[in-house]
Structure 1
């Protein structure tokens, strides 16, 4: 007899394969390399916001340009490598899901929306693409000079046999960053996507005025428009991780999108207390039929991580990106 936990895992895997697949990734997914905003505090002449921005830029330089750290920064390098490994495993599982999906029913594509402006996802895709056939779309258009253009999304690419004897859709990943990126450079009315971290990146900093900053800038607004349009499509599913819905403008879009009866949203909480936090931030009294919050208690030990911050305290469980990757690990027999 299948347990309730096993039934949930099978259900989530089926949704990931048979629906239009979307992910919303927040800052919690880039730990342990990048701490949360709440873990910084103003000190000396730098605000918490400035410290976070500097951390994101410096670590993105490491992963983007393969800069070697000195011995004194060994712990930082370990955290960067651990975080990058988590993202690589996540991308590998997504590609495998797309390979198993039936392109006649749903496109072999996934949308990853992230409010993070680090380069972990870009680096992970770059590494995975060495061994996997995939198309990566970050909205860039051009060759030597790549301009950000939201119309560049929603593309499908197919591989044609050498003898034109078959056509096979290639799995594709679209990365949409509504809060900008450390490799985005403003050039008058255009945004140029560079291959390296720029000195003054075009990003929305966590100042508490994200909603105002986002809608004042046309490019950020366009990224959110893509987000809204994707969630309005029929037979869509959105998996949310590392995002607490404190960004009110995105929370409003989530609430609006839930009016689509064919949309299903699953939110994965890091700890048990996140359930109440998410409901509070969204202004919900309880979960909805198409909005479910899943915390460590919803999974058995195979799909959650045992934690213990203090030897004098009891063990507790968390749910992080590697746990989600494990849930998305689907065998071919499961889709038959």
Structure 2
């Protein structure tokens, strides 16, 4: 028996949760960082460093939107060619989740929870595609309704059973709950019956308007997909160009104003401009904390940097649950060192990688869930 099969035996029948970060979508959507790997500055680091400079804040958000946000509204009806491999990886992951949940006995819900910090809609697109082949499976993204789909943390507490056409039996069917901790590009704010609600739709007119404003600013600055920004000196050079162009300053301000209306948690120190998003954010974090405190819980992390301060704090507090097991597919050896350093003394983490030394690869995650080859457990 190989070690990945032992891993599957270890987690079978337990409460299985996934924490999925930006690395999962990085083949199609880049994550903005400046500098060399292992010593790079993240977008959150940069926004903190330039906290008091308005032009710098707007410029950095422009870079972030252009590289990491605007292409994230994915649907199966119009999937870009370069996004197909990533979508297939998500679909394979969900297939594996369904297989794992079907192995649960009658005493445990056949439910898998996915907590993600990603704004993109790869999971939703994958759900939509897979549902055609899995009629006896439920995919719940926290939205409810028909023409108006309201998103709420109250929409997760369901177990679904199938009874057949003449009610001769009842059996629980597998379900996957999707918790979008940092919001989504499919979310919009709407006034309905004297209250503000979040609705979900693949038609986000605000995103299209922001994209036009973003493209205009990028064209003026000479920024394109092939442009490389490797240091803070490069950023300073662009800021000098902005200082000399009053029209560009105004366009950047208009972009930033529109960008702030998106229902996503920007990579800053958690400053909210939308009250409705703030409420949703903290409720979903509470759900994540509750999951970490359940008996016999397994948390599988992929593509997550462990640099989100609130999520990291919840992981540290999970030390009170002696039965919690955390497994991580690391991106690099330096990630292993970093994760060990921030969680040292709080909770233990098991790292998994392929015998070929592959790290941070979506296929590694899916292969160890399938138990198909010998995985190195460290």
Give the structure-1-normalised TM-score.
Answer: 0.79
Q: Which runs of 5+ in 2 are unaligned?
A: 35-41, 47-54, 207-260, 373-378
Contact 1:57–1:197 (Cα < 8 Å) also in 2 = no
Distance 1:221 1:214 in 2: 14
Distance 2:360 2:300 in 1: 13
Residue number in structure 2 paired with 1:81:
84
Q: How far 1:266 sits from its partner (Å)?
A: 1.1
11-20 vs 318-327, greater mean Cα deviation? 11-20
Residue number in structure 2 paired with 1:13:
8
Give the structure-2-normalised TM-score.
Answer: 0.71
Quickly say closer, same or farther: Cα 1:25–1:100, change in 2 above 3 A. Answer: same
Residue number in structure 2 paired with 1:319:
360
Give matches, 1:298-313, under 5 Å: 299-301=354-356
Residue number in structure 1 paired with 2:165:
162
Contact 2:302–2:360 (Cα < 8 Å) also in 1 = no
Q: 2:304 aligns with which of 221, 243, 263?
A: 243
Quickly say closer, same or farther: Cα 1:162–1:82, change in 2 above 3 A. Answer: same
Residue number in structure 1 paired with 2:340:
279
Q: 1:96 aligns with which of 94, 99, 112?
A: 99
Contact 2:32–2:67 (Cα < 8 Å) also in 1 = no
Question: Which secondary structure does the structure 1 equivalent of 2:120 belong to?
Answer: coil
Contact 2:301–2:329 (Cα < 8 Å) also in 1 = yes
Higher Rg of the two aligned structures: 2
Contact 2:186–2:200 (Cα < 8 Å) also in 1 = yes
Distance 1:178 1:244 in 2: 15
Contact 1:49–1:206 (Cα < 8 Å) also in 2 = no
Quickly say closer, same or farther: Cα 1:65–1:45, change in 2 above 3 A. Answer: farther
Quickly say closer, same or farther: Cα 1:82–1:51, change in 2 above 3 A. Answer: farther
Whether 1:196 aligns to 2:208 is: no
Q: How far 1:292 sits from its partner (Å)?
A: 1.6
Residue number in structure 1 paired with 2:37:
none
Q: How far 1:147 sits from its partner (Å)?
A: 1.4
Residue number in structure 1 paired with 2:250:
none
Question: How many matched pairs?
Answer: 294
Give matches, 1:15-54, under 5 Å: 15-38=10-33, 47-54=59-66
Q: Which runs of 5+ in 1 are unaligned?
A: 70-76, 305-316, 332-336
Distance 1:65 1:128 in 2: 11
Whether 1:122 aligns to 2:129 is: no
Contact 1:244–1:281 (Cα < 8 Å) also in 2 = no
Quickly say closer, same or farther: Cα 1:330–1:97, change in 2 above 3 A. Answer: farther
Question: Which secondary structure does the structure 2 equivalent of 1:52 belong to?
Answer: helix
Q: How far 1:45 sits from its partner (Å)?
A: 10
Q: How far 1:254 sits from its partner (Å)?
A: 0.7
Q: How far 1:83 sits from its partner (Å)?
A: 1.0
Question: Which secondary structure does the structure 2 equivalent of 1:249 belong to?
Answer: helix
Residue number in structure 1 paired with 2:150:
147
Q: How far 1:166 sits from its partner (Å)?
A: 1.4
Question: Which secondary structure does the structure 2 equivalent of 1:226 belong to?
Answer: helix
RMSD, aligned α-carbons:
2.7
- The Cα offsets for residues 101-131 of structure 1, whole Å up to 9 and x where unpaired, read as 22x1321110000000000111111111110
- The Cα offsets for residues 199-242 of structure 1, whole Å up to 9 and x where unpaired, read as 143000112x13x5499711111111111111111111110111
